[in-house]
C-alpha cells in the first residue's frame, strides 16, 4: 500500500429477530485512528501497515466495542487471509470466516468468537468516490447472510448481512467534508445510497439496486430527507421515496460519526436500513486528539 493510504473491509448485520447487530471492519491504515493521523502530520509518509486493526461493535445486549490500533508486526496477509493481531479474516471462495479475539474499551472485556458471512452473490462493480481518483468503494456482497457464534460474550444469532471494501491513497479528511451511506435489504434486491461532499466543492450521489445475482444497476436518487441530529449533533441526511424516513435506533453516536437503524422507502418498498453519517470536519478538529485514544488504544508493542 502507498504511504498515507488505507484499505478496509466492512461487514454489518442485524439479527433476524432485530434484537442484535454487529459491525466488523478490518483496517490497513486505520483511517479513524488518532495515532495514524499523528503519524501523517505535516504530510509525513506514514505506512498504513503500521496502523492496522480489526474493529468490532456489538449492538443490543450484550454490547461491546473494540478498536485496537496495531503495529506492522501484528500484520500477516496473503491472497485469501488477513491476520491482524489475534483476529483474522479468511476467504475460501464461498464464505468469509472472521475469527475474533479482541478486548473491548473503555471497560476491558474479552470479545472472542467466530462470524461466518455467506454472500448470496458477489458483485464486480467498483466506484470512484472523488474527482481525482484517490478513493474507491466496492460493494462486494450487498446481499449476504451471517452466522454469529461468540464465546465471550456468549451470543448466537443469524440474519441478513452486507460486505464491502474501500481503499484510497490519501487521508479521507483531505478530500471529503463528509458523507452519508445506507443499505436496505429487501426480498428481491438491496438498495444502496452513497452521498459524498467533496472538498473541491462537488458532490456525488449514488443510488444503486443490487439484484440477487449480484448485478448492480444505477437508479434515480430519491428526494433528500433530513433525519434528526444525534446527541453529538451529527447531521443524518439521507434520501427516501416520498421524502420521509425515521430513525428506529441509534447504534453509534460519536463526536464525528453516527450509525443508525432507520425505516425508509426505497425501490418502491418499505425497508429497514443501516445508515451512517460521517463528518470529517469534526474528525479533523484538534479536540479529537484528546478524545479518540480512549476509544482507539494502541499497545506499546
**Average pLDDT rounded to a whole number, residues 109-115:** 97
Q: What is the model's pLDDT at position 291?
A: 87
Please tell me the predicted confidence (pLDDT) of residue 159. Answer: 95
| pLDDT tens-digit series, residues 259-289 | 999 999 999 999 999 999 999 999 999 888 7
The band of 205, judged by pLDDT with boundaries at 50, 70 and 90, is very high
pLDDT band at 290 (very low <50, low <70, confident <90, very high): confident
Q: How many CB atoms lie within 10 A of CB 260?
A: 23
- Contact call for residues 137 and 149 (beta carbons, < 8 A): no
Q: How confident is the model at residue 121 (pLDDT cuts 50, 70, 90)?
A: very high
Q: Please give the Cα distance from 265 to 268 (Å, whole number).
A: 6
Report the predicted TM-score, pTM, of the whole model to 2 decimal places: 0.96
Segment 9-14 shows an average pLDDT of 97
DSSP labels for 32-49?
T-HHHHHHTGGG----GG
Dump pLDDT digits (tens) for 130-166: 999 999 999 999 999 999 999 999 999 999 999 999 9
Give the pLDDT confidence score for residue 209 in this predicted structure: 98
Q: From CA 163, how far away is CA 120, in angstroms rounded?
A: 11
Q: Is the pLDDT score of 301 beyond 90?
A: no
Where do the domains of the chain lie?
6-294
Kindly list the strands in the beta sheet with 176-185, ordered across the sheet, starting from the edge strand earlier in the chain.
216-218, 203-211, 189-198, 176-185, 269-279, 257-266, 246-253
Q: What is the mean pLDDT of the chain?
A: 96
pLDDT higher than 80, residue 183: yes
What integer pLDDT is reported at residue 116 of this predicted model? 98
Question: Is 110 strand, coil or helix?
Answer: strand
What whole-number distance in Å separates Cα of residue 255 and Cα of residue 252?
10
pLDDT score of 289 = 78
Amino acid at each position: 500500500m502507498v504511504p498515507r493510504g488505507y484499505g478496509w473491509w466492512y461487514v454489518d448485520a442485524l439479527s433476524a429477530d432485530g434484537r442484535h447487530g454487529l459491525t466488523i471492519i478490518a483496517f490497513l491504515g486505520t483511517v479513524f485512528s488518532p495515532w495514524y493521523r499523528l503519524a501523517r502530520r505535516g504530510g509525513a509518509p506514514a505506512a498504513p501497515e503500521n496502523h492496522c486493526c480489526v474493529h468490532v461493535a456489538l449492538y443490543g445486549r450484550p454490547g461491546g466495542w473494540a478498536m485496537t490500533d496495531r503495529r506492522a508486526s501484528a500484520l500477516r496477509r496473503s491472497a485469501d487471509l488477513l491476520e491482524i493481531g489475534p483476529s483474522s479474516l479468511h476467504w475460501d471462495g464461498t464464505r468469509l470466516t472472521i475469527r475474533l479475539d479482541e478486548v473491548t474499551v473503555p471497560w476491558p472485556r474479552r470479545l472472542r468468537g467466530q462470524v461466518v458471512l455467506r454472500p448470496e452473490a458477489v458483485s464486480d462493480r467498483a466506484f470512484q468516490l472523488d474527482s481525482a481518483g484517490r478513493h474507491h468503494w466496492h460493494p462486494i456482497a450487498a446481499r449476504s447472510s451471517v452466522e454469529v457464534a461468540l464465546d465471550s460474550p456468549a451470543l448466537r444469532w443469524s440474519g441478513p448481512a452486507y460486505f464491502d471494501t474501500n481503499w484510497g491513497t490519501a487521508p479521507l479528511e483531505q478530500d471529503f467534508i463528509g458523507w452519508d451511506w445506507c443499505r436496505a435489504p429487501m426480498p428481491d434486491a438491496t438498495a444502496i445510497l452513497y452521498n459524498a461532499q467533496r472538498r473541491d466543492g462537488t458532490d456525488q450521489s449514488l443510488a444503486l439496486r443490487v439484484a440477487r445475482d449480484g448485478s448492480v444497476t444505477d437508479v434515480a436518487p430519491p428526494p433528500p430527507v433530513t433525519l434528526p441530529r444525534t446527541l453529538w449533533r451529527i447531521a443524518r441526511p439521507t434520501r427516501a421515496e416520498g421524502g420521509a424516513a425515521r430513525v428506529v435506533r441509534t447504534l453509534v453516536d460519536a463526536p464525528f460519526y453516527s450509525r443508525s437503524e432507520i425505516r425508509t422507502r426505497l425501490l418502491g418498498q418499505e425497508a429497514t436500513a443501516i445508515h451512517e453519517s460521517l463528518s470529517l470536519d469534526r474528525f479533523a478538529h484538534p479536540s479529537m486528539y484528546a478524545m479518540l485514544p480512549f476509544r482507539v488504544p494502541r499497545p506499546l508493542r
